[in-house]
Structure 1
Amino acid sequence: MSKKVGVEASLTDVRDALMEKGYDVVELKSENDASGLDCCIVTGLDSNMMGVHDTVTQGPVIEASGLTAEEICQQVESKLS
């Protein structure tokens, strides 16, 4: 079963890279979207803009600010393995 990762809409390069690696990627539009995900990727432009940090999630929240798509994929893989 593939891991389910939530990605903010503006992070299209990250979404594409994770999909290529076989992750089930969903777009985060509100804090309710984070429920049930293995991991969430947020831009970090507005810290905790969507309230994801306060939402009960089973997985980590990764802030994408300053990271390449490949670096984010590496973080996701290390946190979910």
Structure 2
Amino acid sequence: MARIGVEGTLSDVSQALQSKGHDVVELKSENDAQSCDCCVISGQDQNVMGISNAVTNGAVINAHGMTADEVCQAVDQQGSR
């Protein structure tokens, strides 16, 4: 399965992804995202400074307003591309 980076505030998403067999890594720094196939962010502090440095080649999913199941579906869709 995929290696997914997830912000620490999204524990329900982490649990849901782990239950589907994904390797979940907590995103604590930019270095954590580099080895991930996909990253899930809360969207609460997205691009506050207006700076956008790409630190991963994988997809970034903004989980704001999504349920854990919806995030899992979005991750699965990214993996099928």
**TM value normalised by structure 2:** 0.88
Equivalent residue of 1:54, what SS? coil
Aligned residues between the structures? 77
Deviation digits for residues 5-41 of structure 1 (CA, Å, limit 9, x no counterpart): 0000010000000000000000000111100210000
Aligned to 1:42: 41
Instruction: Quote the offset at 1:59 in angstroms.
Output: 1.1
| Moved beyond 6 Å, runs of 4+ | none
Aligned to 1:31: 30
In structure 2, what is the Cα distance between the partners aligned to 1:11 and 1:39?
A: 15
Aligned to 1:8: 7
State the identity %: 53
- Flag structure 1 segments of 5+ consecutive residues without an equivalent: none
Aligned to 2:73: 74
In structure 2, what is the Cα distance between the partners aligned to 1:38 and 1:76?
A: 10
Instruction: Quote the offset at 1:56 in angstroms.
Output: 3.3
53-62 vs 25-34, which deviates more? 53-62
In structure 1, what is the Cα distance between the partners aligned to 2:22 and 2:45?
A: 25
- Flag structure 2 segments of 5+ consecutive residues without an equivalent: none
In structure 2, what is the Cα distance between the partners aligned to 1:29 and 1:48?
A: 16
In structure 2, what is the Cα distance between the partners aligned to 1:46 and 1:36?
A: 22
The structure number with the bigger radius of gyration is 2
